[in-house]
Structure 1
Amino acid sequence: MKFLFDLFPVILFFIAFKAYDIYVATAVAIAATFAQIGWVWFRHRKVETMLWVSLVIIAIFGGATLILQDESFIKWKPSVLYWLFAVVLLLAHAIFKKNLIRIMMKEQIVLPEPIWARLNASWAAFFAMMGAINLYVAFNFSTETWVNFKLFGFMGLMLVFIVLQGLMLNRYMEDKEDNEA
C-alpha cells in the first residue's frame, strides 16, 4: 500500500496528462505532492526527508514549467531527483561513512559488510542510470511517450532491478536465526 501511496502524485500526473495536457498534469502533481505531505503529517506528525526533497524539486521544476510554459523543466525533474539520490548515497558513504541502504534495510536482511557497500554502490549507479534514461526518453521521444515511460517504464526498470538485486543478495544473506543463536 505504501508503494501506491508513494506513486500517488505520479499516477495523478499521468491521469491529468491523459485527460488534459502537460501543464494541468504538472499543476496536479504539485498539488498532489502537497496533499501527500499534508496527509503524512496529519497521520504521523513527521514527514520523511525524501518526501520533502521531492516536494521542493516538483515545486521548483513544476513551477518553472507552469510559469514559463515550457515542458522541458518538468521533464528534468525525475533526472534531478534520481541524481540527487545517487549523490546522497555516494557522499553519505564516502564522507560520513554511512551506508544509507544498510540503514534502511538492516532490519530486513543481514549481509556481510562488503556486500552492503556493493549494494549501496549499485543503487547509486541505478539511480544515475535512471536519470540518464529519463533525459534520453524525454528529449528524443514525444511528451506522450515520456509520460507513459515515466509511469510504466520506470516502474518496470525498478522491478527488474529489485529482482536482480534479490537474486544477487540471496547467496550472501545470512539467516537471522543463525546470527541470534
Structure 2
Amino acid sequence: MKLFFDLFPIILFFAAYQLYDQLPPDIVAGLDRIPFLVLIPGAPENAILFATAVAILASVLQVGLYFFKHHRFESMHLVTLGLVVVLGGATLMFRDPTFIKWKPTVVNWLFGLAFLASQLFTRKPLVQRMMSTAITLPTSIWNRLNGAWIIFFLVSGLANLYVAYAFTEAVWVNFKLFGMLGLTLLFVVGQAFYLTRYLNPSEE
C-alpha cells in the first residue's frame, strides 16, 4: 500500500498521458481551468502538458494526505513535490517537456548525493540509519551497501536521460513508470540476496 502511495503522482502522470487522446472534446475544453495549463488544439505536446499538470496536483494531494494522516512530512514526498512544481511548472510555462523529463534524473541524483554526503561527513551512512533497526551489519558492509545505493541512483538518473533523448516521448513515459520501478525492484532483490549471508535466524 505504501509503495502505491509513493508512486501515486507517477501513476496518475502515466494514466493522464495515456488517456488524454481519448478525452471527449468538451472535457478537453474545460481543462483550461487548471492553472497554467494552456492546451492548443492539435498541438503534439498537449498530452504531456496535461500529464504534468496532473502530476503537480497529485503531488500536492500526496503531501497533504500524508500530513493529515501522520501530522508530519516525509522527505521524499517534499523533494518530489518541490521538483515537480519547479520543473513541471517550467514545462507548462514554456511548453517544453524537457524540464519534466529531467525530473527523475534530478531526484535520483539528489538522493545519490545525500547518500554520498552521509558516508563522507557523518558517522553512519544513510542506509544504516534506515535499516539498522532491522539488521545488524559490520561497518564495512554498511558502507558497501551505501555505496551500492549511490551507484544505483547515478545509473538510474543516466538511464532516464538516455531513454528521454534516444527514444520517443511515449517510450519515455512508459519507462518513467515501469522501467524505473523495474530497475528499483531488481536492485532491491539483488540487495536482499546479498544480505542473506549476513543475517542470523532471528533477523531473517
> Which TM bucket (shorter chain)?
over 0.9
In 1: Cα distance, 2:199 partner to 2:144 partner: 13
Structure 2 unaligned residues grouped into runs of 5+: 21-46
Q: After the TM superposition, which residues 34-49 of structure 1 pair with which residues of structure 2 at under 5 Å, given as runs?
A: 34-49=60-75
Q: How far is the alpha carbon of 1:173 from its aligned partner?
A: 2.3
In 1: Cα distance, 2:201 partner to 2:144 partner: 19
Superposition CA RMSD, Å: 1.1
Q: After the TM superposition, which residues 19-168 of structure 1 pair with which residues of structure 2 at under 5 Å, given as runs?
A: 19-20=19-20, 21-168=47-194
Give TM-score, length-normalised by structure 1: 0.94
Amino acid at match of 2:94: L
Q: How far is the alpha carbon of 1:174 from its aligned partner?
A: 3.7
Q: Which residue of 1 aligns with 2:11?
A: 11
In 2: Cα distance, 1:8 partner to 1:50 partner: 13
In 1: Cα distance, 2:145 partner to 2:112 partner: 12
Amino acid at match of 1:15: A
Q: What SS does the corresponding residue of 2:185 show, helix, strand or coil?
A: helix
In 2: Cα distance, 1:96 partner to 1:155 partner: 29
Structure 1 unaligned residues grouped into runs of 5+: none
Q: What SS does the corresponding residue of 1:128 show, helix, strand or coil?
A: helix
Identify, as 1 or 2, the structure richer in helix: 1
Give TM-score, length-normalised by structure 2: 0.84
Summarize deviations over 1:85-117 as a string: whole Å, max 9, x none: 000000111012331111111122221211111
Amino acid at match of 1:156: G
Q: What SS does the corresponding residue of 1:104 show, helix, strand or coil?
A: helix
Amino acid at match of 1:29: A
In 1: Cα distance, 2:97 partner to 2:152 partner: 25
Kept after mapping to 2: 8 A contact 1:112/1:172: no
Moved over 6 A (4+): none
In 2: Cα distance, 1:96 partner to 1:164 partner: 26
Q: How far is the alpha carbon of 1:175 from its aligned partner?
A: 4.3
Structure number with greater Rg is 2
